[in-house]
Amino acid sequence: MWQALYEELADRGFMVMAVAMDSREGDPLPWIEAAQPTYPTPIDREHRLAELYGIVNVPQAVWIDEAGRIVRPAESAGAYEGFRKMNRSTREMPEDAAHVTAKAKTTYLEAIRDWVRHGSKSPHAFSAEQARAHLPALTEDAARAQAFFRLSQALLRRGRRDEAERMSREASRLWPDSWCIWRQSAGVNEMGFAALPDFWQRVDALGEDRYYAKVDMPGMP
């Protein structure tokens, strides 16, 4: 979807940068190479992007204008909770959930198109004050978690895998809202997705809480 949007809007100065936050060795290079994107796709093994912008899950997006100003801080990029109603054996989704999920993606992409065409006049572009109000709060535990995660990556590069895994688990304990950190130690299926029982157990433990935080945008569920 991002490749198509980039090609559609590139002549208006629109740029996509898709950052993979994955510290597991060799992953996700095969998926990037298979997709063959024509926009930058760096791999952020230390989650510096998450630290700078408060990203806790994927897919999340940050809108940045041509002057380098954050127009919309980190938010779910058109994703929705519909997957929680999916049949986990057949991967089939109820029609109503599939409809709302598709609508969320369409609404978000249309908002990006409107912003690219109208800039600060777009109703989806936050003012500086609004953008600051939407910035995620950086708690002391979140800051410590980020430090522990960076330490885990430094240990991993030195071959100290057991210590690295302990530091990563501690980071996740300190900042349980960060699915990005937790996912680095989660089991993955044959497609490389963290969708094994440990993932579903963690999702189910949310209860009525959302997996994807609600996006402050008209039309988003």
Question: Where is pLDDT greater, at 143 or 25?
Answer: 143
pLDDT for residue 186: 75
pLDDT for 28 beyond 90 = no
pLDDT tens-digit readout, 127-157: 999 999 999 888 999 999 999 999 999 998 8
The pLDDT confidence band at residue 210, using thresholds 50, 70 and 90, is very high
**What pLDDT, in 10s, does the model give residues 93-134?**
999 999 999 999 999 999 999 999 999 999 999 999 999 999
- pLDDT value at position 126? 98
Question: Is it the case that residue 169 has pLDDT exceeding 90?
Answer: yes
The pLDDT assigned to 136 comes to: 86
Arithmetic mean of pLDDT over the chain: 91
What pLDDT, on the 0 to 100 scale, is given for residue 191? Answer: 44
Quickly count helices (H) and strands (E) in the chain: 9, 2
What's the CA gap between 86 and 39, in Å, rounded?
A: 32
Question: Does the pLDDT of residue 190 top 50, yes or no?
Answer: no
Percent of the chain clearing pLDDT 70 (strictly above): 95
Q: Full-prediction pTM beyond 0.95?
A: no
Task: Report domain extents, the chain.
Answer: 137-210
Q: Give the per-residue SS3 of 65-113.
A: CCCCCEEEEEEECCCCHHHHHCCCCCCCCCHHHHHHHHHHHHHHHHHHH
